[in-house]
Amino acid sequence: MIEVNDANFEQEVLKSEIPVLVDFWAPWCGPCKMIAPFVEALGEEYTGKVKIVKLNIDESPNLASSYGVQGIPTLVVFKSGQPSGKLIGAAPKAKIANLIEQQL
């Protein structure tokens, strides 16, 4: 799982050739920890089709606010450098997979 921040967000997310699911999270967030295994598993299942990255909102608060993240966990799919899908709050693996599928 790739960690993104202010320094590498543009390269890893905005300039990606494939859709990118960004997991906006924080280490103190319980629901973030609940969905982490689902996000990691989906990263393996969609290898080569979707890139999955994590962004710690405590380390990159400006990025989080620039994409309207007000609560975590928030999952945002970027396609061709633009946000194209969003899921807020803890969700089952199937719902996260559905978010990804809609962007393929």
Give pLDDT, residue 68.
93
Residue ranges covered by each domain of the chain? 2-101
Whether 32 is catalytic is: yes
Summarised one tens digit per residue, pLDDT across range 11-64 is: 999 999 999 999 999 999 999 999 999 999 999 999 999 999 999 999 999 999
Kindly name the residue from 4, 13, 21, 29 that is annotated as catalytic.
29
Give yes or no for a contact between 75 and 23, defined as CB atoms under 8 angstroms apart. Answer: yes
Kindly name the residue from 4, 21, 32, 69 that is annotated as catalytic.
32
Task: Kindly report the pTM of this predicted structure.
Answer: 0.95
Whether 29 is catalytic is: yes
CA atoms within 13 A on the CB side of 21: 32
Domain 2-101 sits in CATH at 3.40.30.10
Give pLDDT, residue 74.
97
